[in-house]
Each structure stands twice: as structure tokens, then as C-alpha cells.
Amino acid sequence: MIDLPQPTGAELWPPEEPGPRARLHKPWRTLVAAVEVVLAVVAGWAAYSCWHSSVATVVTRTDDGAVLESHRYFGGLLAAAIGLGTVAALLLVDAVRQLSLAIRARSAKTKA
């Protein structure tokens, strides 16, 4: 076992950055969360619309009276629906984060 010297208070890494510490509690984050929820709803509606527009039903009647039904899928619209759904989910996750930072995060001075 190698006994390495331990750092003292002056040698800690990373060094403290000069300037005031950033505050996490900012009430305007509530507005950001509300805008993100609205954008997530719009993205979800667009994903739903793209998903249902991506399927076309083709019906063919043969000479002997048989009815053949097939479905045609459009990959671009399916990919757009998946992408928009992913964007909506990410917006909702970030809205929860913004809201929790707006409500709960306070500086050490206000806790005491």
C-alpha cells in the first residue's frame, strides 16, 4: 500500500471559482415549466396526428368478388410521430425539473 500525501484545504480540486454563487431558486422557472408543458401538449397532439396520418388502407375488389384489404405505412410520418413523442416526453421531464427548482431549491441562508 502506498501512502500518498492528502490534500489540504488550499490544494482542493477543483478550485473555487471567483464571484457570487449561482442561485437555483428562481421563481421565473415556474413560467418556463408552464411554457414547456404547453409545448409538450402541442408536440403530443402533432405526434398523434402524424401517427394516424401514416397509415392508408387500400381496398381492392377482384373480378370474382373477393375483397382484398391491405395497409400502406408511410415511414416518414411514423418517424416524425416517434420523434415528436420523444420531444414531448423530454419537455415534460424538464418541466418537472424546472418546477422542482422553482419551488424547493433555496439558499442555505433561508433554510436556517
Q: Can you read off the three cell numbers belonging to residue 9?
A: 484545504
pLDDT tens digits along 42-99: 999 999 999 999 999 999 999 999 999 999 999 999 999 999 999 999 999 999 999 9
Q: Is the peptide bond before 7 cis (omega within 30 degrees of 0)?
A: no
Beta bridge partners of 60: 68
- The answer as to whether 75 is a domain residue is yes
Report whether pLDDT(39) > 60: yes
d(CA 74, CA 78) in angstroms, rounded, equals 6
- The answer as to whether 33 is a domain residue is no
d(CA 85, CA 57) in angstroms, rounded, equals 24
- The answer as to whether 4 is a domain residue is no
Q: Which residue range(s) make up the domain with 71?
A: 46-104
- The answer as to whether 90 is a domain residue is yes
Which H or E run contains 60? strand 55-61
How many C-beta atoms surround the C-beta of residue 78 within 10 A?
15
> Residue type at 79?
A
- The answer as to whether 64 is a domain residue is yes
Domain count, the chain: 1
Q: Can you read off the three cell numbers belonging to residue 3?
A: 501512502
